[in-house]
């Protein structure tokens, strides 16, 4: 569970609304571009102490920025584990509210991390987690640190039940990954199909696109896609070993 020493921010992210301006520190007028090892370690320590489960970094190409009409280059992805207690609840409006409350609460703490970076001379802005114009998943794939599965979910090594927030930043020397070593997972996913076959509402069309009008993930918090997925049930490391052993054997 994410926790924090600072006073809690009373914020609420909403669809079609700008990100709340809940920063306590303004962006520097001349943002720095290189973070020292020392400050970077402090940043990571703070993130993990707050409860962040993992960090990834996306460097956005000019083509990508032009495609999505955005003007920032570097993104920090802050992942948090969605509470397992909620995952096993039956879909309902109440469950949906619990998941949303957790998401909103975590979002409040991400401002502390943005303020830490600002205080140290870097630009840091929270990307709207509910933006329907820029795909955060598309930005996530630029990290080379995740794959999109057939359930349309973003798989990070930390697990399938990850929510995430993103900060755009002036920091150019983040540890960006050059290659994606998770592509095997997409291949495994192609051979599986459990989430599609077990969806209680048949919410996938013939092209395996999730039918938004049928799927109750957002309205009632259905997460059977996660619960039925081997990446959730057995874990990333176990499946990777099994998959690669099969290729060799
Ligand atoms: S259940 Fe199977 S097909 Fe569905 S996302 Fe997981 S690995 Fe892919
Ligand atoms: S979240 Fe639930 S309803 Fe939506 S596609 Fe997955 S299993 Fe089906």
The per-residue pLDDT for range 172-187, each reduced to its tens digit, is 999 999 999 999 999 9
Q: Both 87 and 160 in a single domain?
A: yes
CA distances from 188 to 146, 183, 232 (A): 14, 9, 14
Cα–Cα distance for residue pair 178/175, rounded to 1 Å:
9
Q: Which of 6-15, 91-100, 109-118 has the least mean pLDDT?
A: 6-15
At 11 the pLDDT is: 83
DSSP β-bridge partners for residue 74: 59, 169
How far is C-alpha 203 from the geometric centre of its chain's CA atoms? Answer: 23
Helix (H), strand (E) at residue 81: strand 74-81
Residue 244: pLDDT above 70?
A: yes
Q: Which residue among 150, 195, 217, 223 is best mutated to probe the pocket of ligand 2, counting the most ligand atoms within 8 A of its Cβ? A: 217
Higher pLDDT residue, 249 or 23? 23
Asked whether residue 82 carries a pLDDT value surpassing 80, the answer given is: yes
Q: Residue 19: inside a domain, yes or no? A: no
> Which residue range is the domain that position 205 belongs to?
183-248
Does 121 lie in the same domain as 234?
no
Pair (121, 194) in one structural domain: no
Residue 132 lies in a domain: yes
Does residue 43 contact residue 57 with C-beta atoms inside 8 Å? no
Total domains present in the chain = 2
In ligand 1, the atom with minimum distance to the C-alpha of 196 is 4
Q: What is the ipTM of this complex?
A: 0.98
Residue at 220 is within a domain: yes
Which bound ligand lies closest to the C-alpha atom of 225? 2
Nearest CA owner, ligand 2 atom 4 = 215
Q: Whose CA is nearest to atom 6 of ligand 1?
A: 229
pLDDT digits (tens, 9 = 90+) for 206-232: 988 889 899 999 899 999 999 999 999
Predicted confidence at residue 69, as pLDDT, reads 93
> Which of 146, 150, 185, 227 is the best mutation target for the ligand 1 pocket, counting ligand atoms within 8 Å of the beta carbon and taking the most?
150
Whether 15 has a pLDDT exceeding 80, the answer reads yes
| Structure tokens belonging to residue 184 | 């095997």
Distance 224 CA to ligand 2 centre (A): 6
């Amino acid at each position: 569970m994410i926790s924090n020493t600072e006073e809690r921010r009373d914020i609420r992210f909403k669809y079609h609304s700008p990100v709340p301006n809940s920063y306590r520190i303004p962006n520097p007028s001349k943002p720095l571009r290189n973070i020292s090892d020392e400050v970077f370690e402090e940043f990571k320590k703070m993130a993990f102490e707050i409860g962040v489960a993992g960090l990834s970094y996306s460097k956005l190409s000019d083509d990508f920025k032009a495609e999505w009409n955005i003007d920032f280059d570097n993104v920090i992805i802050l992942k948090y584990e969605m509470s397992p207690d909620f995952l096993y609840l039956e879909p309902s409006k109440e469950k949906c509210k619990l998941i949303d409350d957790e998401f909103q609460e975590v979002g409040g703490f991400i401002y502390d991390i943005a303020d830490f970076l600002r205080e140290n001379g870097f630009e840091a802005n929270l990307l709207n987690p509910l933006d329907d114009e820029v795909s955060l998943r598309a930005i996530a794939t630029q990290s080379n640190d995740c794959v999109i599965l057939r359930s349309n979910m973003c798989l990070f090594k930390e697990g399938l039940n990850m929510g995430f927030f993103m900060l755009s930043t002036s920091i150019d020397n983040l540890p960006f990954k050059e290659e994606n070593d998770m592509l095997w997972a997409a291949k495994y996913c192609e051979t599986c199909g459990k989430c599609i076959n077990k969806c209680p509402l048949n919410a996938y069309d013939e092209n395996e696109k999730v039918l938004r009008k049928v799927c109750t993930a957002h309205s009632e918090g259905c997460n059977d896609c996660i619960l039925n997925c081997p990446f959730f049930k057995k874990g990333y490391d176990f499946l990777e070993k099994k998959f690669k052993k099969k290729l060799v054997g």
